[in-house]
Structure 1
């Protein structure tokens, strides 16, 4: 049964002001788990104690590409202490992705280190992986062709697949069996062509089709994320989970 979590980047400013209080609020809103991106100076033991207090599950962690390359053992050990195997590459700068073959080689090395320790490496996309090409494929498909599934799993940001010009439902189907996590995000396209992220159900992304496809692909977690919020982020994530409860909980397929 697919569970619903929150990518904590959405409430980054609140976490910086009050890390413990913000996590407690996220739990009160009804999210089952959280995906970290920063630990705000807390030890793994401190974070784990807070997770136990709130009943939240650590889904995994987005950690900077350079930090993973330089401090892989420490990063892996930290997330394993939180009870999660998932360590995720969240983003590549233009410089970092100037050579996709080098990225693939680094991901193989990181994936092997994760596998040795009992962790799982994933890669989280933006739209540029769908727009840039390598080896005759989108960079997205190229990475997963070059790095085997036992070394690299998929965290598909379905909104960015859509914004990149592809069908996220089709992409979910293509990676079924290699796709434990998705990001669930909505957007409105602006006059200049840019994307404004919005509360779930307020944009143009076909979330219902994505959720159905994710269920069929045996995705473990659908992770709500809103990169930028036009109103207070905690209000936005509250409205997003309410939308999920209203639209999907009655079907019995989504566990919130």
Structure 2
């Protein structure tokens, strides 16, 4: 509710100068293509088209840019693919906006012409890179490059988002055990370079194989916990038919990273807090205290809006 002071009414948003500056900065960039040297102009329609924000959000909706409380215990981040359109338009301004919203950590590779300059930009804004990755094939093919990115951005994790060397419709018992060997081998190489390796399952790892087992269970039972940990994606675990909270209880010590996304009633992906999943119960579950909770929504046209609404929901 707006607060009254000295007979005047103030919206809480105007008590957040940092967030206001970020919004104004993005507006200017959308209008001019860069930060103008003098003057300030706003074109809400063009800004919303450039960055995927609805016109209503530019009336400083609290759900997008409201004053956000400090996270008491959870560590929240965002994977930059969620805001890929805004990052492509102006990555530095977008990173500043995410920081003003309340994000402290980002997952993903680098933007711009130089890895070192991007690392400097992140540090200057006050964001911490947490991890990045790719498919098994890409990680094996260009291992040195992924290690270089992790070293320069001071990442803790290198992540395999797709551990298979075949299409997911060709997964069987034999290929699952081959994948176990690859995960253990890659995990060892990554650990030897000073990083933690995680793999990221989807719904197809939960299908039942001919022998009655599921690829997910085979992988978790046969990979070395010291070498291979888990990035649990709330949406894909539910899509695969599993209980997210039960898996957290079972694998607590192997889940340093979460991808937080919600499921809409039609089964599609939605922004955290806008679907049918018990996100707050998941946050209150028995997960490790130092786990990282990463907001992710793929292929969303209004990524910045979702980013703001998600962290507002998660913090309150």
TM over 0.5: yes
Question: Within the alignment, does 1:244 sit opposite 2:297 as a pair?
Answer: no
Q: Distance in 2 between matches of 1:186 and 1:169?
A: 14
| Bigger share in strand | 1
Q: Report the counterpart of residue 21 of structure 1 in structure 2.
A: 93
Q: Distance in 1 between matches of 2:212 and 2:157?
A: 29
Conserved 8 A contact 2:280-2:314 = no
Q: Distance in 1 between matches of 2:212 and 2:307?
A: 39
Q: Distance in 1 between matches of 2:113 and 2:219?
A: 33
Deviations 1:82-131 (A, max 9, x none): 11220001125682553222221111111111111111110112111122
TM-score, length basis structure 1: 0.86
Question: Within the alignment, does 1:5 sit opposite 2:81 as a pair?
Answer: no
Conserved 8 A contact 1:72-1:113 = no
Q: Report the counterpart of residue 178 of structure 2 in structure 1.
A: 102
Conserved 8 A contact 1:65-1:92 = yes
Q: 1:164 aligns with which of 240, 258, 261?
A: 240
Q: Report the counterpart of residue 141 of structure 2 in structure 1.
A: 70
Aligned pairs for 1:13-52 (under 5 A) are 13-36=85-108, 38-40=109-111, 42-52=113-123
What residue ranges of structure 2 are gaps of 5+ in the alignment? 1-72
Aligned pairs for 1:198-237 (under 5 A) are 198-214=270-286, 216-229=287-300, 232-237=302-307
Q: Distance in 2 between matches of 1:77 and 1:186?
A: 33
2:264 is paired with a residue whose SS is: strand
Q: Report the counterpart of residue 153 of structure 1 in structure 2.
A: 229
TM superposition shift of 1:17: 2.2
Q: Distance in 2 between matches of 1:76 and 1:15?
A: 23
Conserved 8 A contact 2:136-2:165 = no
Q: Decide which structure has the larger Cα Rg and report it.
A: 2
Conserved 8 A contact 1:155-1:181 = yes
Deviations 1:33-55 (A, max 9, x none): 0010x424543312210111111
TM superposition shift of 1:210: 0.7
Q: Report the counterpart of residue 41 of structure 2 in structure 1.
A: none
Q: Report the counterpart of residue 138 of structure 1 in structure 2.
A: 214
Conserved 8 A contact 1:180-1:218 = no
Aligned pairs for 1:172-187 (under 5 A) are 172-187=248-263
What residue ranges of structure 1 are gaps of 5+ in the alignment? 247-256
Q: Report the counterpart of residue 65 of structure 2 in structure 1.
A: none
Question: Cα 1:70–1:175, aligned 2, differ >3 Å: closer, same or farther?
Answer: same
Conserved 8 A contact 2:160-2:198 = yes
TM-score, length basis structure 2: 0.70
Indicate the RMSD between aligned Cα atoms, in angstroms: 2.0
Conserved 8 A contact 1:61-1:79 = yes
